[in-house]
Structure 1
Amino acid sequence: MTVLVVTNDFPPRQGGIETFVRSLCDELSDVVVYTSRTSGAAQYDSSLPFPVVRDRTSMLLPTARVTRDVVRVMQRVGADRVVFGAAAPLGLMGSSLRKAGARRIVALTHGHETWWAGTPGARRALRRIGDAADTLTSVSAWCEEQIAPALSPDAAARMRRLTPGVDTSRFFPDCGGEQVRKGLGLEGVPVVACVSRLVARKGQDTLIQAWPRVLAVVPDAVLLLVGGGPDRARLEELALSTGVSHAVRFTGAVPWEDVPPYVDAADVFAMPCRTRRFGLEPEALGIVTLEASAAGKPVVVGDSGGAPDTVRHGETGYLVDPYNPVAAALRITELLTDPARAKAMGEAGRTWVQAEWTWSSSGQILRELLDLR
């Protein structure tokens, strides 16, 4: 029973959805991927244990031509199960693939579908996607609450939670943080790290605004901002104008495979993510928070969208108002000045992730949804 994964989001492109889809493929015994063209794909694809078919375009859309090509591949490889890596918009091909022989269709949602659910024309398209699929999945309770009202009652009743897992063999305590600290000249100083793209939604500016209050309590604390993105120039100006540029370090973009040591370099992980654009741009989940917990770090996370699913408040870390730098500073200084509490929260976080956020459990759910036995 071959599974055809149809996705616009697949490595070597980097991102949360790409990692999610790629990792789920590893949980399927017979899989073929149909995806978009991207630089470096040939070398990457040659290293995979399953075949990848690249479309001629760099952006997959559910056009008549793409639908015909997907049907041809589905029939050529004998696939009768289909997974859409992101439900919107590719799930609009669902009814055509069903007519072509797909017995089970699972469409993954991640977060941008909440925007579809709240926009009239897109909402109707999302309803069609839900009706064509056997199951729409959601990554968090919040996402399900936002998406379900846009679906037909039958489709809403068929929704299932399917969360990303965390590779605890990559993210674990002492997985290279000391080497990163040494390379950055941060040995022996308290470090708070935010590992994320530099975009307004992730809240790095809230951390910079909080930093004068952090330094008042922990004078040698350093804020390590790991990642690249369009907001860097604004954040650098903010650090300068706030008078904390000497205590804020920007690493620039870090390759996906090199991320774990940067997480491990932190004493505290902080990402006060927030909802923007009148609710249309939320944090759907925030897998990096769980990766930080897997590395044994206490976390400070913004209360946005599905982010509360990634922290047990008061046990593995804290939820904070992402628009309140004072609140962020309070929790960060609390953890930096109480190493015993920080260590206990980090240990509790790793135990929780190991028990409840594994790729094997996510794969088992997907196999059940696809009726693979």
Structure 2
Amino acid sequence: MHLPATGPAPRVLHLTQPVEGGVARIVADLARAQLAAGWDITVACPDGPLAAALRLLGAKVRPWPATRSPGPSLAGETWRLARIVEDVRPDLVHAHSAKAGLAGRLAVRARIPTVFQPHAWSFEAVGGVPAVLALGWERWAARWAARVVCVSEAERRRGVSAGIRGRWAVVPNGVDPDRFRPGRAVRPPLLTDLGPRARLVVCVGRLCRQKGQDVLLAAWDRIAERVPDARLVLVGDGPDRTRLRALAPASVRFTGAVADAAPWYRAADVVVLPSRWEGIALAPLEAMACGRPVVLTDVDGAREVLPPALAPHCLVPPTDPAALAGAVGALLLDPALRASAARQGRAHVLSAHDIRRTARAVAAVYGELLGGGPDAAAWPVVPTEYRESIQS
């Protein structure tokens, strides 16, 4: 956004409940870019890795204790956000993901230009009555968002087909291709006992139903039978950790939460994300930026991150262990196919999913709302030194 040289720096208040994983990294990306542009940036979030990283960047952080799901605490969470908004007096509020989108829009109610970014729709994450309530809320609350920013065209179409009458913008997620870049594959300490012939399959993501690690574990016997020296590593933590450990054979490694996923991508022969639904996941973009082939499920948002030429080899139906095993096994056994997929994936990230491109697109949305015009060319280059403190 182009700002007059004598004008005050715009004040932006970001709201987020997740403090780890993809949403947290996106908030950190935007805060870094906006601080570099000289903007006054405050983030309201629970205490955790994101808050620590933001303080290192120079952002103002307002503690906002909030649970992940709606419940009896919602009234107090909304009241606390309203007090934060009153104190910060932002020019624009940017609410990320379902919980901050719920409490934030209730607290502001369009009195200040509000951007809502769902990062995957809440009504897709639940079933039954909760899904009906979530959808009803999204339809009602769209009136309180000056823009609804979707991370993929598929996410926008899903909202439209669900009856949400939003004022839409599509800004695909991006990653930093200077940080996530090809490099020498060095096995992390957890894997140093593996023999030199072991071929490594890595899945990076929150251990939860959405990410589909249970489907990958269901496929693993088929993969191991076809490729006996294959080994699987699940990188991340989450509510399904105990259940997944019970499903996994003893040879599967669990890393827990990690501060930096890049070494795990570089150590992998194939990176897998068997999601049941997505907005646009960062993990496959980061893996492709690191020059690694990926296998994804054919769900909204996931298919958009792949170059079309790779879809026949790297895209499989969701919740289909046999198809997942076939695609992973084929890549493990074909070095030429892996190398070609790696080259095409890296080129696709550079052309369509560079984080600097994402930051400029968000700046254009802000510019339209704040009256400065969509002068995205004035947005600064995003520096690269902050991701280590945001857990995957």
**TM-score bucket of the superposed structures, by smaller chain:** 0.7 to 0.9
2:93 aligns with 82
One of 283, 289, 292 as aligned partner of 2:284? 289
Give 1:91 deviation, angstroms.
4.1
Give 1:107 deviation, angstroms.
1.5
Which sections of structure 2, spanning at least 5 residues, go unmatched?
1-8, 68-72, 376-392
Give 1:261 deviation, angstroms.
0.4
8 Å contact from structure 1 (residues 116, 122) kept in 2: no
One of 245, 255, 260 as aligned partner of 2:258? 255
Partner Cα separation in structure 1 for residue 248 and residue 322 of structure 2: 16
1:145 aligns with 2:157: yes
Name the amino acid aligned to 1:288.
A
8 Å contact from structure 1 (residues 293, 349) kept in 2: yes
Give 1:313 deviation, angstroms.
4.9
Name the amino acid aligned to 1:291.
E
SS in 1 for 2:183: coil
| Count of aligned pairs between the two proteins | 346
Which sections of structure 1, spanning at least 5 residues, go unmatched?
275-281
**Deviations 1:322-344, CA, capped at 9 Å, x for gaps:** 32222112111211111011111
One of 21, 27, 35 as aligned partner of 2:27? 21
1:169 aligns with 178
Partner Cα separation in structure 2 for residue 168 and residue 51 of structure 1: 27
Give 1:197 deviation, angstroms.
2.4
Partner Cα separation in structure 2 for residue 352 and residue 41 of structure 1: 28
Partner Cα separation in structure 2 for residue 326 and residue 43 of structure 1: 42
Give 1:164 deviation, angstroms.
1.9
Say which is worse superposed, 214-223 or 294-303, in terms of deviation: 214-223
1:309 aligns with 304
1:353 aligns with 349
* CA spacing shift, 1:213–1:113, aligned 2, 3 Å: closer
Give 1:41 deviation, angstroms.
7.3
* CA spacing shift, 1:39–1:224, aligned 2, 3 Å: closer
Say which is worse superposed, 301-310 or 313-322, in terms of deviation: 313-322
2:135 aligns with 123
Name the amino acid aligned to 2:204.
V
* CA spacing shift, 1:22–1:43, aligned 2, 3 Å: closer
Give 1:68 deviation, angstroms.
3.6
* CA spacing shift, 1:69–1:170, aligned 2, 3 Å: same
SS in 1 for 2:328: helix
**Deviations 1:6-41, CA, capped at 9 Å, x for gaps:** 31336xx31211111111112212132241342577
2:210 aligns with 201
Name the amino acid aligned to 1:365.
A
1:223 aligns with 2:236: no
8 Å contact from structure 1 (residues 173, 264) kept in 2: yes
SS in 1 for 2:261: helix
* CA spacing shift, 1:66–1:97, aligned 2, 3 Å: farther
One of 71, 76, 80 as aligned partner of 1:66? 80
Partner Cα separation in structure 2 for residue 152 and residue 254 of structure 1: 35
8 Å contact from structure 1 (residues 124, 150) kept in 2: no
Say which is worse superposed, 292-301 or 164-173, in terms of deviation: 164-173
2:381 aligns with none
8 Å contact from structure 1 (residues 283, 306) kept in 2: yes
How does the TM-score come out when normalised to structure 1? 0.82
Say which is worse superposed, 325-334 or 30-39, in terms of deviation: 30-39
Partner Cα separation in structure 1 for residue 188 and residue 80 of structure 2: 47
Question: What is the percent sequence identity of the aligned residues?
Answer: 27
Name the amino acid aligned to 1:342.
R
Say which is worse superposed, 170-179 or 18-27, in terms of deviation: 170-179
Name the amino acid aligned to 1:339.
P
If asked which structure has higher relative contact order (CA below 8 Å, sep 6+), I would say 2
1:332 aligns with 328
SS in 2 for 1:52: strand
SS in 1 for 2:57: coil
8 Å contact from structure 2 (residues 82, 108) kept in 1: no
2:116 aligns with 107
Partner Cα separation in structure 1 for residue 220 and residue 96 of structure 2: 39
Taking only aligned residues, the RMSD between alpha carbons, in angstroms, comes to: 2.9
1:300 aligns with 2:295: yes
SS in 2 for 1:127: helix
Partner Cα separation in structure 2 for residue 147 and residue 260 of structure 1: 33
